Structures are given as structure tokens and as C-alpha cells.
Chain A
């Protein structure tokens, strides 16, 4: 039959071509192409676990099986189209006041301490001479009285809602990828509660600029953040001002003319002028001088222009120069915030500007973003080699940002950062290149970039090694999800995250938290990870309800070994469990031996601790030893990784 194998080969090849062609077509026509995990030596369960580890805040009990049942590809595609809040999330967030308030209401409800003091003085609640920051009860009461009479709320309440909603969504939301990405993109476009000026704006920033855009085009994220008051104030673009425009020149000239006129009048009428009109002239003089001085003293602020290139888009080696920074800063002059605080002078002045005046003064309002032509630099600019002709106004800023959003350096920078988040701290270059290509081809479609990543072998190659270390927030939430803990007091997650080294929403620098293991793991934080494990398992965190028995379908483990095996399986599903439980087991056994020795040598000095320990051991309820086992698992090295 096989006398002439060479002759058969073309036939075979054609057959192969058909088969491959069919598979090829399937891969693109069918909604769910197969993820290449088998080649990496992973079972379907292991692959499902990897997906859950990477794209959720940790698997819930039984979730690996659910994903397998749904189909890994289907599950991932569904995550790319985030579902609306489920009932649990809706109920939990139902009572949150600020979460449903428009930004300007928030600004006028949750006043800053300094605003409260000034207002309390202005409204006569406190005497300006008695102002003393020493927390006198009477003084605090007067401020509280004003707050309740005017419906102001404490700023801490706003921050508490911000923190709690993040925790609740991370724990309970079904749109897990959306939440993971909200965490990621917030950190990428970081703003910080440490800056007073943005304290009221961080909640609306995440709610309006970040979360709705995390799976959109990159440029929608860039624009939403660029125009948000939180970013405009955090990186100071709202302070960046130029006099290189007609309005400013007119204003300066006008002020100067008035000054000159005033001076001339004074000279002429020096002898027979009334005190009254002299006073008026002096007032005018000082007003004009201040106006001119203010105009002239404020100037270009490059902070946002620099960071948007270095941190948000091109990356530090993205091929821009200091001159590009300055030119972009000039293009973005006038990008600022609409005055919102009703008790402040600016909002009052702004509210009476007519539409015609808005137009004449070159003002553009979009939600709470305000472009002021009167602060814009209208001279020519060259940014990254592209010329922007004079008098480009508002649109040259948007053109420049669009250019950054789709720049090849941006594609590469963002691709690498996503790969570092979802694959490993030092991601393989092959997958990064592919993702960057997709970024460019899809106009920065984040969904497409993520799809490219999970369809690439590099995403799966080292899944078993669990290369990523969980951030403190991820550790806390994954432990909650794995143990089915009911979170009555979400703020505890913040308290513990801070102890473990991640005071989220308070990272001061625009870089955001460094996303690498060596940043999260240090001597101080590591012990607190262990302490957290023990505390959550032993029900020592107020407002956390952990039911370890229920987690095991109300089966009481028969022995410590049994508890170990059971809970290792539950908390570290699928992978490595044999190795893990054997390790922990050997330790528990060794401890039992210790205790036997201890009780045998009761009257030996210096052994009192052990003695006590062995006594409590005999009184130990199974629940206590379960808690101990679970605590050790959560604090163990295996549970820190994902």
C-alpha cells in the first residue's frame, strides 16, 4: 500500500489544509475560540482556576466547576460584557447616599474642614477670634449644629462610602473583571485622597471616569480622566494659565488703561478732590493691580502634561522630550474645573454668566469640565513632531490627547502593563508584542487586547507556578470569597489592607502602587498577612461572619488531618493541594508530638507555655482547630500567590 508514499503526500496535505482551514475558520467565525491551555499542560480545571485567579478577586467555593461547566471561553467572553449589579450588590449599596449624588451635590454636601470653619464664621456659628484647633467640645458642637441645620455631611462619610463600595463590589459583584480592571485603571490613572483639593472628587472619579470605561477604548479612559475635576486638580492642570490670548491681553490692557487713567485723574485733581472719591480711586487702583498681578504671576504648570505622557500613555521611554512636555502643557492651558462650591465666590460669579458671554469668552462646559479660552495659549505648538497652528483653542488639546492615545509607544506601554498585571511581574515579550499589535489595530480596544492575551500561549505557560503575589486588598477579598465570609463591615478590609501595606485611595504619587511582588512583601506586611489569616478564620474581625462548618456543608471534620485536607481543598482548589496539605500536615503532626513531649515533662522549668497549650488542646472544640487550620492556610505562602 505504501509503495509510493511521496505520491500520497500532496493528497494528505490537501486534507490537512482542509482540516486546518476549517479549524482556522472556526476560530474566527465561532464566538468562542479555544484558549491554548492544553499545550501548557493544564487540565480544564487548572485553566479555569487560572482564569479565576487572574480575572476575579479569587474563586468562590465551587466556582472552578461552574466555569468549567459554562465553558472557559464563554465565561471569559461574558466577563468582557459586564453584567449590571446583581441583587446583593444593589441591596448592599442601596443606602449609600453619595454614590447616587451628582458631583456638584457631593461638593456642596461633604464640605472640607477649612470650608466648614470659614462658613461657620460667616454664618455666625463660631466667633473668628475663638477659632482654635484644639478640639474644644463647644467649638465642635457649634460646627455640628451648623452641619445639621444646613444638611452638610461629614467628609469621612464620603470616604467611607468610597471605600465600602469598592469592597462590596469586589466581594459580591458578578462583574468581577470589571472590578479587577477598575482597581487596575484607577491605579494607572491614580489620584489620591491625601490631596485635600481632590478629597470630594475621588468617589465621582472612580464612578464616572474609571468604572464605566474599563472595558472600552483606551482613549475613552484617557479623555474621561483628563477632563475629570479630580485629575485636573490632582495634577494641577486647572492651575495652568497663559496670557497668550486675546481675552487676557484685552483684560490686561484694560486694567492697565484704567490704572493709568486713575493716576492721571489723581494728578490733575490732586488739590480739590473729595476724600470719598479719592478712596474710590484707591480701591480701583488696588483692584486693578491685584488683577494684573494675578494674571501675570500665574503661569504654565507642566505636571499633568508630563505625567500623561510618562505614566498614562507613552511611558518614560516612549520617545518624548522636555520640549514635548512644555508644548503639550501649553496646548492644555485653559483645561480646568467648573466652579461648583456654591458658598464660594467663583460659583456665584460663574452662575450669572450668560450663554452669549460664555461664547464670547471662549468658555466650553462639559459636565464639570470647563475650558477657558481666556487662559489658553493661542500661539503655535509642535508636539511629537506634529504642528498645531495658532488659535487652535480647545480642540488642539483633544487632538493632542487623541494622538497620545493611539501612539505606538502607548500601545506597547499599556500592553506591557496589562501583561504585568495579568501574567507576571516580568511578562514575556512575545505576548506583549501581540497585545500591542492588537491595541494598534483595534484603536485601543481593551477587550480585544485582553482577548489577544488569553489566546496567547504565554498567558498559560507558567500558570501552575502562580507567579503573581496578591496585593493586600486582593488577599483580603480572596480570603473572604474563598471562605464565604459575610461582610457586614466592609471597612475592615481597608483597615487590614493598610496594615498589610496598601492604604488604597491614599497612594500619594501619580505612579500608583507599584504592581510587583517585592513592593507588597516585606517583613512588616508579611506578618500582618498571617495575622489576617488567623483573625478572619477565628472570627476575630468585627463585622465579618465566617461559618467554616457551613463552608464544608456542615460536616464536622473528624480530625485535624481531616480538617486540613478538607479546607486545603476548599481554599486552594485544584492545584498543588496535595503538596500544600502534606506540608501543613507534617507541621501539625510535629506540633502534636511537641505537645506530647511537653505534657510528659510537665514539671520541667520554662515549659509552662507548652503546658498551657496542650491543656487548651484537650479542651479545643473542633471549631477552634478548624479555625486554626484555616488561619494557617490563609496565611501560608500558597495563599499569597495566585
Chain B
């Protein structure tokens, strides 16, 4: 793929080849090296997936060796002894759901770690509140203006670029609220000057706009205008419409698969992506959750296959990227009256990357007998979500946080990174 560096070198020629008429001053100057814009600096990329709705961590990664679990959820219990299509035994205590088949190899190759018993010290069982707290990173303060990922961008130690933080969602998630530049793009193809049914007019207007923004005295509009048009040209020259995943990766045709494909595109284009964000929905399984088949199994398969395709697609770029999943809380240990589970406390999350001390389930989980449970019903939170988020973000993005990533928190990061 043509990355930004190649684009700058080819200069004027590239412009004509991509069909953009007119030579804006800043591009000619940049190409001539007289006014080179700083190259997009990038070290590493952190990709986060928020599983909205509260994933049943006890079903995704089951402590199958605990008889109390089978007792509490006889209709939902699964174990690796189930034979063909059974779950994957990780360490004789935990097993991965069969739907995680595509991720299991990465556990074996020690790139994938599971952290179990993760959650928030705030006991709320409201989706909204729990997501809000997890995304702001301040479990007891609603008014925190910024999201934790935005603060991470601010702590990178260099000025963010237009694509430093990208959420592949229709609007900016709470995690990315804040002062550092962050954008939401639902579809990279929409990142263009376009007019339905009249691409000619759009092309013409684009060069008018480019010059107008180049000339405006308003600093913010001027700077952002330049960045926008530059970014637009990079995307255009890369033919993102016909993006072909590498290494035979096949993304599921789902919202998550699509989002991760676009994040991979951005990574490979070298536009400076450092924080990518995607969402996955449908985890609020109050009714007929199912076991090897059913809502949960289907959803988890999409989740697993999307991540596996992303990882495969990255190929040699894997070493730059770490992926972390999160969900607002877990679900009740016992099944409810409608074949599902209700809002609980702790769940599990996955971290995938070459710098992860993987092949291990990090857990302080005790027995699931009733008197060991929170409020007699829920998996207790034994690992604060901030201990994981800070471990991953600080290590992978090499942040110097000085306690600014998670204000009001003085806990220790989980030692799970190499």
C-alpha cells in the first residue's frame, strides 16, 4: 500500500494520477521539501473493543472445574469433556467457549492472555453507568470530562496527528471524549468530499474548498483544513474501496469485522494511528443465551473470527499492535428463569499482542459457592479494570502517566506484559 511517505515523494505526479486537479501550494511546497509537514510519528497502536451489553465472562472462559458453577447454571454449563465441538481446556481450571476456536491458537502461541474477574469497584449494575465509569476511567465520578483513551493520547509525549485516535463508530465514544484530537469515522470511504450523483461537482468543489481553507486567517480552520485534505488524498491514493486483506484473512461480514478491517487499513497506511476503537453489541443475554449454539455462541464467534482475521491481516505488523477487549460488567453466576443471565459484577477480557505475556489466565477467582459471591449472586471483582488498562496502555504505548491516566486510582498495574 502507498503510505504517507511514498505519497509525499511522488508529489505532483500522484495528484494527477489520483484525479485531483490543481496543485495546492502547501503540497507543492511540501513536495519540494521547503515546508515539510512533520511526518506522522508513531510508535505503537493500541486497539480497543468495547463489548456493550455486559458479556457473560463465565461462559466465554468457563471455570469448568468448579462444581458450584454447574450447580448454579445447569442449563448453561459447558466443559471441555463434551467431546466434538467442546470447549478448549486452557489450564485444567478454565476453558474457552467453542466459539473462540479461531482465537485459541493465539493462546497456545502465548500471544493471547485472558484476565478473569475483571470489573469496577463501583457496584452499579446499570449498563449506562458502568460503561460510563469504565470509559471515563473514574468509577466514582460522572463529571470527568475526558475518556481514559483520550487521556492516553494526550500522554503519548508528542503532538497527535489527525489519525492518532480513531473510533470506527458513528459518533465519538465516551472513551475518546476530551482535549486530544480524536475522530469518529463510521466508514473510511465517507472520508471524502462527495456529492451524491455528481462526483464531478464534488471534485471541483474540493479544490475550491482546499484553497479557501488554505487561505483563511482562522488558524484552527486553516490547520484542520490542510490536515483534512492531506488525509483525504492519502486515503484516496490507497484505493480503500478495494482493500484486500493480506495473508488470506477473511473478516466476518459484521459490524465488528468491518470496523477491524478499517482499523487494519489505517494501520497499514501509516497515517499515524495510535489508538483505534471499535464496538461489539448484543451481549445483554437475559433470555435463552444458549450454550454451543444460540445467541451467545453466534455473537462470540463473530467476536473471535473478527479479531482473528484482523490479527492475520496485520501479518508482520503484529508487533506494533496490541488489542484489548472490555465489557462493562459480567453476569449472574446462576441462570435466570428465562434461560439467560442477569446483570452481575466481574467478567473477563482478552489481550492480544506480541508484547503480552500470554497463554495464561490471570485470575484471583475463588470458588463460586454462594457465600463467596458478591451479594450472594455475582462473581466478585478481584481485578480492577484499571490495573489491566494501565498495564496494557502504559507498556504498549510507552506512556509516562504519572497517575494522570487514571486519576483517583493508586493501584498497581497487573503484571501481564513482557
Residues in chain A within 8 A of chain B (CB atoms): 114, 117, 128-134, 194-197, 235-236, 297, 302-303, 306-307, 310-311, 469, 498-499, 501, 503, 506, 508-511, 514, 517-518, 521-528, 530-531, 534-535, 538, 540, 583-584, 587-588, 590-591, 594, 598, 606-607, 609-610, 612-613, 616, 624, 627-628, 631-632, 635-638, 640-641
Within the complex, the shortest CB–CB distance from A396 to chain B, in Å, comes to 23
Whether the Cβ atoms of A306 and B338 lie closer than 8 Å is: no
**Do A616 and B212 touch across chains, with their CB atoms under 8 A apart?**
no
Task: Other than A508-B177, A637-B221, give 17 A-B pairs with Cβ distance below 8 A.
Answer: A131-B338, A133-B282, A133-B287, A503-B170, A508-B128, A517-B220, A526-B228, A530-B193, A534-B205, A535-B195, A583-B215, A591-B204, A594-B22, A613-B21, A613-B200, A628-B204, A635-B209
Q: Which residues of A contact B64 (CB under 8 A)?
A: none
Say yes or no: A509 contacts B212, CB within 8 Å: no
Q: How far is the CB of A625 from chain B (nearest CB, A)?
A: 9
Residues of A within 8 Å of B206, CB to CB, are: 530
| Choice from B127, B145, B197, B208 contacting A511 with Cβ under 8 Å | B145
**Chain B 182-216 residues near chain A, CB threshold 8 A:** 182-185, 190-198, 200-209, 211-213, 215-216
B residues less than 8 Å from A236 (CB atoms): 129
Closest to A605 in B: B16
Partner-A contacts on B (CB < 8 A) = 16-17, 19, 21-22, 126-129, 132, 136, 140-145, 162-163, 170-172, 174, 177, 179, 181-185, 190-198, 200-209, 211-213, 215-216, 218, 220-222, 224-225, 227-228, 231-232, 282, 286-288, 295, 337-339, 375
Min C-beta distance of A536 to chain B, whole Å: 11
- Listed by A's residue number, 7 A-B pairs whose Cβ atoms lie within 8 Å are A306-B142, A509-B142, A522-B162, A523-B183, A530-B205, A590-B211, A641-B221
With known contacts A197-B126, A509-B142, A631-B205, A523–B174 Cβ distance under 8 A: no
> In the complex, are the beta carbons of A636 and B212 less than 8 A apart?
yes
Which 8 residue pairs across A and B have the least CB separation, nearest first? A637-B216, A524-B183, A131-B287, A523-B162, A195-B128, A523-B228, A503-B171, A637-B221
In the bound complex, do residue A584 and residue B232 qualify as a contact, i.e. CB atoms below 8 Å apart? no
CB distance from A315 to the nearest CB of B (A): 11
A129 surroundings in chain B (CB, below 8 A): 288, 338-339
Flag if B142 contacts A531 (CB, 8 Å). no
**Contacts of B142 on A, CB cut-off 8 Å?**
235, 303, 306-307, 509-510
| Chain B proximity of A453: nearest CB distance (Å) | 24
A509 and B174 in contact (CB under 8 A), knowing A524-B191, A527-B232? yes
Chain A CB within 10 Å, residue with most, of B21, B143, B170, B197: B143
Contact A134 B208 (CB under 8 A): no
Residues of B within 8 A of A587 (CB): 207-208, 211-212
Q: Is B220 a contact partner of A469 (Cβ separation < 8 A)?
A: yes
Establish whether residues B220 and A527, one from each chain, have CB atoms under 8 Å apart when the complex forms.
Answer: no
Tell me, rounded to whole Å, the shortest Cβ–Cβ distance linking A339 to chain B.
18
Asked whether, in the complex, the Cβ of A632 is within 8 Å of the Cβ of B208, the reply is yes
- Partner of B209 from A307, A538, A636, A641 at Cβ < 8 Å: A636
B200 contact from A306, A524, A612, Cβ within 8 A: A612
A194–B177 Cα gap in the complex (Å)?
15
Chain B nearest CB, measured from A222 CB (Å): 16
Is the pair A521, B184 in contact by a Cβ cutoff of 8 Å? Answer: no
- By beta carbon, the residue of chain B nearest A519 is B179
CA distance A514 to B177 in the complex (A): 10
